[in-house]
């Protein structure tokens, strides 16, 4: 009896890298039912939190992100060599048919070494602007799965033939949301009220939290309730901020059940990570996007612009100053909370950008590569 086919999915460190990989692994059950998925992730606790409940096998890699200091670069180089040796052993032991890079530094060793050994490999590139790790890996892969058409302008001509416009994979439960009433009940919310969702993605976002705490006391919340996904490291501070302003809100540290969150959402204030944009678009949710302001290439800003240009979101710059950002957010939120027609137009614009079947499309590409086509 032959061993089951192995598909390696490499990457991690954030939900933005892992959730698309989980979606692809779930979709592979339909096209390669006998295949076994193995995640090569990081040692960050968020990876275990996300992957353990899925039942997929995962192995943490020792690799750490590069930091531009002497000690930081030395540590990166040391952990790169350790990860390279670990991956070399796993490629020999597991003999994967395909390696799928999920983006970021944790995908590097597996994809690079797979390409060098003639193992079919591909990349998920859901941001408009490819990150440095993905750019480094373009020459090692046979397909680059992208969410936005604008990515073509950021891929060298030599590799543009590899680009596949699949969208960003999202999990099946998000592509087909549960009934609103059931989601409201599970989250402990009031079904008679509209819901404003605030999220900084899986780990939360300090500047988003701070801006909303600066804004919320100035909002008229009649008929609205707040569901705030604060992040495990920030939740206590956020709860205290709402208490001090005597504003009721449902604060969640972290949830893997984003299908329930989006099912009850009437308006969102969100970061503009690729995964968040994909979910907002697939679910057709009106949103205000606050792109992460600290990346040099401002890739979240490019994501937000793509959604805004399609009429699917309003982009607000995160000034890193809570009061300045709140000064822009307050009138905008107040307008959107009373203007149901504008919320509907934004929701429709977002929906036009959605790729709810992205996971299946990427799974089909993996199946093609596995068959040698």
| pLDDT of 201 over the 90 cut | no
21: its two tokens: 């990989």
The answer to whether the beta carbons of residues 38 and 89 sit under 8 Å apart is no
Please state, for a pLDDT cut of 90, what percent of the chain lies above it: 85
Q: What are 332-365's pLDDT values in tens digits?
A: 999 999 999 999 999 999 999 999 999 999 999 9
| pLDDT of 203 over the 90 cut | no
pLDDT at 256: 83
pLDDT at 1: 46
| pLDDT of 3 over the 80 cut | no
Calculate the average pLDDT of the chain: 94
User: What number is the average pLDDT over the span 142-147?
Assistant: 97
Of 170-174, 324-328, 342-346, the poorest mean pLDDT is in: 170-174
Supply the DSSP string of 260-279, one letter for each residue: HHHHT-SEEEE---HHHHHH
What's this model's pTM, rounded to 2 decimal places? 0.90
369 backbone dihedrals φ, ψ, rounded to 5°: -65, -40
10 Å Cβ neighbour count for 4? 11
Alpha-carbon gap, residue 262 to 53, rounded angstroms: 20
Handedness of CA 150, 156, 160, 165 (dihedral sign): negative
| pLDDT of 22 over the 70 cut | yes
Alpha-carbon gap, residue 59 to 201, rounded angstroms: 23
108: its two tokens: 């590097």
User: What number is the average pLDDT over the span 257-282?
Assistant: 96
Please state, for a pLDDT cut of 70, what percent of the chain lies above it: 99
pLDDT at 294: 84
Phi-psi region for residue 288, left (φ > 0), alpha (ψ -120 to 50) or beta? beta
Q: What are 283-305's pLDDT values in tens digits?
A: 999 999 999 988 777 889 999 99
pLDDT at 262: 97
Angle at CA of residue 227, ends 225 and 203, nearest 5°: 165
Match 């670990």 to its residue by tokens: 86
Q: Which carries the bigger pLDDT value, residue 184 or residue 3?
A: 184
pLDDT at 31: 96
List the beta bridge partners of residue 313.
Answer: none
The answer to whether the beta carbons of residues 102 and 10 sit under 8 Å apart is yes
Of 36-45, 135-144, 194-203, the poorest mean pLDDT is in: 194-203
DSSP annotation of 131 reads P
Sheet containing 224-229, strands listed edge to edge, beginning at the edge strand earlier in sequence:
250-252, 224-229, 194-199, 267-270, 287-289, 314-315
Residue 2's pLDDT band (boundaries 50, 70, 90)? Answer: low
């Amino acid at each position: 009896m032959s061993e089951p086919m192995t598909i390696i999915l490499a990457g991690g460190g954030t939900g933005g890298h892992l959730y698309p990989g989980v979606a692809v692994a779930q979709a592979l059950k339909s096209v390669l039912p006998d295949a076994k998925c193995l995640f090569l992730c990081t040692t960050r606790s968020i990876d275990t939190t996300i992957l353990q409940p899925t039942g997929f096998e995962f192995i943490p890699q020792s690799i750490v992100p590069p930091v531009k200091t002497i000690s930081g670069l030395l540590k990166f180089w040391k952990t790169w060599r350790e990860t390279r040796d670990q991956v070399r052993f796993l490629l020999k032991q597991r003999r994967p048919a395909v390696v799928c890079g999920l983006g970021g530094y944790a995908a590097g060793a597996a994809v690079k070494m797979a390409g060098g050994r003639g193992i079919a490999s591909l990349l998920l590139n859901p941001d408009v602007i490819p990150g440095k790790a993905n750019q480094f890996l373009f020459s090692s892969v046979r397909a680059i799965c992208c969410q936005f058409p604008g990515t073509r302008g950021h891929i060298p001509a030599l590799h543009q033939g590899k680009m596949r416009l699949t969208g960003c994979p999202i999990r099946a439960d998000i592509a087909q949301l549960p009934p609103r009433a059931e989601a409201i009940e599970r989250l402990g919310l009031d079904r008679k009220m509209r819901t404003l969702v605030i999220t900084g993605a899986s780990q939360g976002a300090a500047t988003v939290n701070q801006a909303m705490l600066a804004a919320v006391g100035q909002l008229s919340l009649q008929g609205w309730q707040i569901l705030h996904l604060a992040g495990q490291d920030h939740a206590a501070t956020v709860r205290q901020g709402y208490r001090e302003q005597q504003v009721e809100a449902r604060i969640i540290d972290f949830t893997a059940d984003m299908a329930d969150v989006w099912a009850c959402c009437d308006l969102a204030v969100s970061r503009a990570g690729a995964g968040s944009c994909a979910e907002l678009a697939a679910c057709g949710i009106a949103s205000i996007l606050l792109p992460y302001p600290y990346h040099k290439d401002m890739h979240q800003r490019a994501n937000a612009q793509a959604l805004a240009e399609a009429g699917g979101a309003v982009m607000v710059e995160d000034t890193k100053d809570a009061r300045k950002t709140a000064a822009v957010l307050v009138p905008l939120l107040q307008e959107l909370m009373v203007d149901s027609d504008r919320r509907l137009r934004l929701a429709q614009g977002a929906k036009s950008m959605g790729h709810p079947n992205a996971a299946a499309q990427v799974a089909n590409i993996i199946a093609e590569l596995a068959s040698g086509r």
